[in-house]
Amino acid sequence: MSENLITLSCPHCHRKNRMPAQRLTQDGKCGACKQPLFTGMPVPLSNSSFSAHAGADLPVVVDFWAPWCGPCRQFAPVFEAAARSMEPAVRLAKVNTEEEQELAAKFAIRSIPTLMIFRAGREIARVSGALAPEQLRQWVAQSLR
């Protein structure tokens, strides 16, 4: 019987890992750096690490934000709580648009916060504005159907 392998990137070293989908809930460790593959926290992404995560089989919900943005700061605890509750079904990540202006331009981020879901290198959903916890869960669930 063949196992359904998925790729996901390490939140620490950003190396790709392959893991049987059935074992995602077990405490997997990165084959390269030996750190946990799931931390329960959003992964900060840069221009150099973005494609490793967005290109993986595991869906990635990305929060494009800026430190000066009031709604972004208010939404941050909601997004962090979602990372704790939604992993390992999805990876949550953050992109600081002030530091990563190239990524913000590449994805035409016009307002913040903007949330995007990526799977296997493709954008599959986008929404602008801070969401309440239940709205965030519903949006992710509907987008991944």
Task: Estimate to the nearest angstrom the gap between the alpha carbon of 10 and the chain centroid.
Answer: 12
* Domain residue spans of the chain: 38-143
What's the CATH superfamily of 38-143?
Glutaredoxin (3.40.30.10)
With CA atoms as reference, report the closest residue to 51 among 99, 98, 118, 111: 118
Q: Which residues contact 58 (CB under 8 A, 6 or more apart)?
A: 6, 7, 8, 88, 90, 91, 119
How many whole angstroms separate alpha carbon 53 and alpha carbon 63?
A: 13
Band of pLDDT at residue 1, cut at 50, 70 and 90: very low
Report pLDDT digits (tens) over 105-134.
999 999 999 999 999 999 999 999 999 999
Q: Verify whether residue 10 is a known catalytic residue.
A: no
Report pLDDT digits (tens) over 25-62.
888 999 999 999 999 999 999 999 999 999 999 999 99
Amino acid residing at 103: L
Global pTM reads 0.94
